Amino acid sequence: MIKTKKRKILLLPGDGIGPEVVSEVKKIISWFNKKKSLDFQIEEGLVGGASYEKNKKPITDEVFYKALESEAVILGAVGGPKWDNLEFSKRPERALLKLRKELKLFANLRPAICFKQLVDSSSLKPEIVSGLDIMIVRELTGGIYFGEPRGIKPIENGERKGINTHVYTSSEIIRVARVAFELAQKRNKKVTSCEKSNVMEAGILWREEVQKLRDEEYKNIELNHMLADNCAMQLLRNPKQFDVIVTDNLFGDILSDEAAMLTGSLGLLPSASLGSKDKNGKMRSMYEPVHGSAPDIAGTGKANPIATILSFSMALRYSLDLNKEADILDQAVQKVLDDGLRTHDILSKGKKEVSTSQMGDAIISKLK
């Protein structure tokens, strides 16, 4: 019998509700191993505030090397007020930035989907958000979050000056735009590229490079350019005009959060951070829920695990080439929502409230 190499999945529970929601993913991975004869090998590590408490740093080299060796990384959440006053380099969020930068995870995929069972939870009218399905592709390793020079410096008159640098190269723009065009090919063949080319030279370069790539390689894709502030307005006015949105690190951070709230169910939204494929076809990746660590409800059983579970579904689809298994998991989530089960954050009249673990168990019961 030929032994196959087990596929390593690194679980990084993190802080707040992170350990609770990742625990439900762990149960689902075990189900797939047992019922579908898959070969996932689970490893775990500390990250964020949990790592700082033990190691005085937000991520250790040991955990980082585990991430390098994994097929996919599943992250819970990091951060909390407990660590807000730490020096910048030791804050929990620095672990995220290190993982994204060192793993070269340049494309962040943030779906904004309005689940039909929760359309009334949106702050917008049902007719505006019903059927909403947007994919936002955010560039993740360039722009103002990583540009140099940066820092806070004293100046001659006794004041201080804060400096951040917004910079992009052609290759950084082209590779993330290509991800957006490839996704659009499998969706509705429409891409909206967002920048601030009216006031920023980096925005002019962004617009030019995205247009050039479309004209040379993706002539069948409809490409629209939109200023980022207008996009923010249009997401509220007529969100269903969008299919795939591609934008830079800063604007992507803002627009994807706005789009997430259109759905009325932040606890259901996953995300994927993807890198380039190596010569063996292996792609480094990290998956995490859109929601934060929510320390105010940590340990109460109120956390919604669905976003983290759907993040694992994205890992099945994008990193592990297991589309069928991803479909099975997505359908199980839909069936549980159809049954009227709700965690506290999405509870409405006439529905049954369940705990974090009860929601995970209910989803497992629907897996076939």
16-30 pLDDT, tens digit per residue, is 999 999 999 999 999
Q: How confident is the model at residue 59 (pLDDT cuts 50, 70, 90)?
A: very high
Does 116 reside within a domain? no
Does 119 reside within a domain? no
Assess whether 162 and 142 both reside in one domain. yes
* Token couple for 306: 């669905």
According to the model, what pLDDT value does residue 250 have? 97
Does 348 reside within a domain? yes
196 classed as catalytic = yes
According to the model, what pLDDT value does residue 5 have? 60
According to the model, what pLDDT value does residue 17 have? 98
Please give the residue range of the domain that contains residue 291.
1-110+266-368
CATH number of the domain that residue 197 is part of = 3.40.718.10
Whether residue 94 has pLDDT greater than 60: yes
Does 144 reside within a domain? yes
Domain boundary among 262, 278, 305: 262
Domain boundary among 262, 288, 316: 262
Assess whether 47 and 64 both reside in one domain. yes
Domain boundary among 262, 277, 304: 262
Q: Which of 66, 90, 257, 366 is catalytic?
A: 257
Assess whether 56 and 70 both reside in one domain. yes
According to the model, what pLDDT value does residue 266 have? 79
Residue ranges of the alpha helices (H) in the chain?
18-35, 49-55, 61-69, 93-102, 126-129, 170-185, 201-217, 228-237, 249-262, 306-318, 323-338, 356-366
Does 3 reside within a domain? yes
Q: Are 134 and 241 in contact (CB under 8 A)?
A: no
According to the model, what pLDDT value does residue 3 have? 47
Longest distance between any two alpha carbons in the chain, whole Å: 76
Q: Are 10 and 44 in contact (CB under 8 A)?
A: yes
Average pLDDT over residues 161-177: 97
Q: Are 309 and 329 in contact (CB under 8 A)?
A: yes
Q: Kindly report the average pLDDT of the chain as a whole number.
A: 94
Does 334 reside within a domain? yes
CA dist., res. 93 & res. 293, Å (int): 11
Assess whether 229 and 319 both reside in one domain. no
CA dist., res. 128 & res. 119, Å (int): 10
Assess whether 240 and 274 both reside in one domain. no
Q: Are 175 and 141 in contact (CB under 8 A)?
A: no
Assess whether 190 and 293 both reside in one domain. no
**How far is CA 143 from each of CA 195, 203, 249, 253, 278, rounded to the nearest angstrom?**
12, 11, 6, 11, 24
According to the model, what pLDDT value does residue 1 have? 37
Assess whether 173 and 222 both reside in one domain. yes
Q: Which of 168, 196, 248, 287 is catalytic?
A: 196
Q: Are 285 and 318 in contact (CB under 8 A)?
A: yes
Q: Which of 26, 27, 189, 229 is catalytic?
A: 229
Assess whether 151 and 248 both reside in one domain. yes
Residues near 30 by beta carbon (within 8 Å), at least 6 away in sequence: 42
CA dist., res. 13 & res. 73, Å (int): 10
Q: Which of 253, 330, 339, 345 is catalytic?
A: 253
257 classed as catalytic = yes
Average pLDDT over residues 239-265: 93
Residues near 3 by beta carbon (within 8 Å), at least 6 away in sequence: none
Predicted TM-score (pTM) of the model is: 0.90
* pLDDT above 90: percentage of residues in the chain: 88
Assess whether 103 and 142 both reside in one domain. no
Assess whether 218 and 338 both reside in one domain. no
Does 156 reside within a domain? yes
84 classed as catalytic = no
Assess whether 272 and 252 both reside in one domain. no
CA dist., res. 11 & res. 84, Å (int): 24
**What's the pLDDT tens digit per position in 272-301?**
999 987 777 788 999 999 999 999 999 999
Does 115 reside within a domain? no
Average pLDDT over residues 194-214: 98
**What's the pLDDT tens digit per position in 27-42?**
999 999 999 999 999 9
Residues near 149 by beta carbon (within 8 Å), at least 6 away in sequence: 163, 165
Q: What total number of domains does the chain contain?
A: 2
52 classed as catalytic = no
Q: Which of 52, 145, 218, 318 is catalytic?
A: 145
CA dist., res. 306 & res. 318, Å (int): 18
According to the model, what pLDDT value does residue 84 have? 93
Assess whether 280 and 257 both reside in one domain. no
Q: How confident is the model at residue 2 (pLDDT cuts 50, 70, 90)?
A: very low
**What's the pLDDT tens digit per position in 293-339?**
999 999 999 999 999 999 999 999 999 999 999 999 999 999 999 99
* Token couple for 215: 């004209």
Q: How confident is the model at residue 123 (pLDDT cuts 50, 70, 90)?
A: confident
